[in-house]
Amino acid sequence: MRRVLTVLGTVIVLAMAGCEATPSPLASSDGPRLSVEGPWVRTTTGARDATMTAAFLTIVNPGDADVRLVGADCADAAMVQVHEMVMADDKMVMQEAKDGLFVPAGSHLHLTPGGPHIMLMQLRTGFAVGDQVALTLRFSDGSTLAVTAPVKEFVEEEDHYHSPSPTPSPSS
């Protein structure tokens, strides 16, 4: 009977943590903090649609609890969404990541052209190369992270997001 109760307790704790794969559901926010590496925003100069662009970066999660990037804010954009790439009709297309983007404990997540990204839409200003864009990332644990991302040249194909992609490799 005691064993059954223990198992039930474990299941409940895991359910509350919102992640069945977390080995240590009691991780606290006192642990190592999330950080961001290499943030940048694609310039709108020369873009086919200059009302939108995307931000890319790497999120490092040194903690022992999984976390999700659930949103972002940018004063220069009226609408900001977290996007993921999915296969639709044999093409990789972007769509809003309704549950956010998963950053595993002790690991990291790359947001890159052709992969998951932060979509900045209804821009209030153009972004020229060399500009600095202020972003605030929002995470599933309630924490936020302020990021300053330099604007860089867009070296990918113009319609990269809607081009067929042979083998998506989301891992590092």
The residue ranges that bind Cu ion (CB under 5 A) are: 83, 94, 119
Find, among 148, 126, 151, the residue nearest to 47 by Cα. Answer: 126
DSSP secondary structure string, 101-155? EEE-TTEEEEE-TTS-EEEEEEESS---TT-EEEEEEEETTS-EEEEEEEEE---
Find, among 33, 37, 82, 40, the residue nearest to 172 by Cα. Answer: 37
Nearer to Cu ion, 65 or 118 (CB): 118
Name the minimum Å distance from CB 117 to Cu ion. Answer: 6
Residue 31 DSSP one-character state: S
Name the minimum Å distance from CB 133 to Cu ion. Answer: 16
Distance CA 161, CA 103 (A): 22
Q: Are 116 and 70 in contact (CB under 8 A)?
A: no
Nearer to Cu ion, 27 or 111 (CB): 111
Nearer to Cu ion, 27 or 53 (CB): 53
Name the minimum Å distance from CB 74 to Cu ion. Answer: 14
Nearer to Cu ion, 94 or 123 (CB): 94
Nearer to Cu ion, 57 or 65 (CB): 57
Q: Which residues, including other chains, have CB under 8 Å from residue 90's CB and lie 6 or more apart?
A: 164
Name the minimum Å distance from CB 39 to Cu ion. Answer: 16
Name the minimum Å distance from CB 84 to Cu ion. Answer: 9
